[in-house]
Amino acid sequence: MHFTMIERLRLDEPPTYQPRIPFEGPKSDGAPVDVESLIAKEESLAKTDGFRFVSISDYYHKYRSGALTPNEVAENVIRAMNDSEKLTPKMRAMIQWNEDEIRKMAVASTERFQQNKPLSVMDGVPVSIKDEFECIPYILRVGTSNIRATKGTVDATLAAKLRSAGAIIIGTANMHELGTGTIGYNISKYHGTPRNPYNVQHYTGGSSSGSGASVAAGLCPVSIGTDGGGSVRIPAVFCGVVGFKGTFGRFSAAGCAPLAFTVSHMGPLCSSVRDAAIVYGKCMNQSRLIL
Active centre residues (catalytic): 130, 207, 231
Residue pair 129/226 in contact (Cβ under 8 Å)? The answer is: no
Task: Determine the distance from the C-alpha atom of residue 241 to the mean position of all C-alpha atoms in its chain, rounded to a whole number.
Answer: 12
Instruction: Compute φ and ψ for 49, nearest 5 degrees.
Output: -90, -10
Q: What letter represents residue 101's amino acid?
A: E
Residues whose CB falls within 8 Å of the CB of residue 196, separated by 6 or more in sequence, listed in order: 202, 203, 204, 213, 216, 238, 239
Q: Alpha carbon of 20 to those of 74, 112, 188: distances in Å?
A: 40, 40, 34
Compute φ and ψ for 10, nearest 5 degrees.
-110, 125
Q: Please provide the distance, in angstroms rounded to a whole number, between the alpha carbons at the two ends of the chain.
A: 56
